[in-house]
């Protein structure tokens, strides 16, 4: 350890000393010097790792596995799904839960019953897994179009004026 790192550690220890008090520090020093400390410490680490593993959502894990399998079997579908999920998660398309539910319904996908946008994304992606690459491409482009298009007056006025000038010629 360099001098600088030692000073940084001392500064951190000073902060912790202030936070927990000198008595706890003395207790900790006694614990660390005990011979079976390492065993107890590694047991604590193992328990927390197990807790973390059980908290991971098994549905999400299997969904990821299914998507990853596509990388080998249908790379086009894989790329479409990954890019779609990325756009969903960054909120660039279907930015609200309601719009996601509506999108699923209007595109003949399984209805979404989710209370959060995050679970809705999983449900939406799962229901899109059964589509062929071509169907998927169409559905994805609809989502992108609906998000790009404001449905605003500018777009309609452009269509109408273009159309009228075409029909005059």
Partner 1 sequence: MKGGVGKSTLTAQLAYEFAILTKWAKKVLVIDLDPQFNVSQYLLGPRRYENDIINVNAPTTWHIFEQHTRTPGQPIPPALDPVSVIYHAVQYTGGSLVDLVPSRLELAFSLRNTSQKEDLLKKFVSAIEPRYDVILIDCPPTESLFTTAAYLTSDYLLVPVKPEYLSAIGLPLLSNSLDEFRSHNNGHAPEVAGIVFNFASDYAPEEIRSKGEVTAVARRFGWYLFENEVPYSRSIAKSAREGQPLRLTSYSRATQVNKLTNVVTELAGRVGI
Q: Which residues contact 132 (CB under 8 A, 6 or more apart)?
A: 77
Is 96 an interacting residue with respect to partner 1 (CB under 8 A)?
yes
String marking each residue 144-163 x if it binds partner 1 according to CB under 8 A: -xx-xxxxx--xx--xx-xx
Is 12 an interacting residue with respect to partner 1 (CB under 8 A)?
no
Give CA–CA dist 90/98, Å, rounded. Answer: 16
Is 165 an interacting residue with respect to partner 1 (CB under 8 A)?
no
Structure-block tokens of residue 62: 């299997």
Is 164 an interacting residue with respect to partner 1 (CB under 8 A)?
yes
Is 88 in contact with 126 (CB distance < 8 Å)? no
Give CA–CA dist 154/4, Å, rounded. Answer: 62
Please identify which residue in 106, 118, 130, 132 interacts with partner 1, judged by CB under 8 A: 106
Please identify which residue in 6, 34, 62, 108 interacts with partner 1, judged by CB under 8 A: 108
Give CA–CA dist 21/13, Å, rounded. Answer: 11
Is 134 an interacting residue with respect to partner 1 (CB under 8 A)?
no
Segment near partner 1 (CB under 8 A); pick from 10-18, 32-40, 97-105, 118-126: 97-105
Structure-block tokens of residue 117: 């946008």
* Cβ nearer to partner 1, comparing 22 with 151: 151
Is 59 an interacting residue with respect to partner 1 (CB under 8 A)?
no
Q: How many CB atoms lie within 10 A of CB 29?
A: 9
Element (H, E) at 140: helix 133-148
Instruction: List interacting residues with partner 1 (CB under 8 A).
Output: 96, 98-99, 101-102, 105-111, 145-146, 148-152, 155-156, 159-160, 162-164, 167
């Amino acid at each position: 350890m360099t001098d600088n790192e030692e000073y940084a550690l001392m500064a951190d220890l000073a902060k912790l000393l202030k936070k927990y008090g000198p008595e706890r520090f003395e207790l900790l020093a006694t614990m660390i010097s005990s011979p079976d400390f390492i065993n107890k410490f590694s047991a604590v680490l193992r328990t927390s790792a197990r807790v973390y593993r059980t908290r991971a959502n098994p549905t999400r894990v299997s969904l990821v596995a299914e998507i990853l399998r596509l990388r080998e079997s249908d790379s086009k579908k894989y790329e479409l799904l990954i890019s779609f999920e990325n756009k969903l998660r960054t909120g660039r398309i279907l930015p609200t839960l309601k719009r996601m539910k509506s999108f699923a319904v209007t595109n003949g996908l399984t209805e979404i019953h989710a209370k959060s946008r995050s679970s809705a994304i999983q449900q939406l992606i799962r229901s899109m897994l059964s589509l062929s690459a071509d169907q998927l491409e169409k559905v994805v482009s609809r989502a992108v179009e609906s998000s790009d298009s404001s449905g605003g007056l500018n777009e309609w006025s452009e269509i109408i004026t273009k159309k009228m000038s075409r029909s005059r010629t």
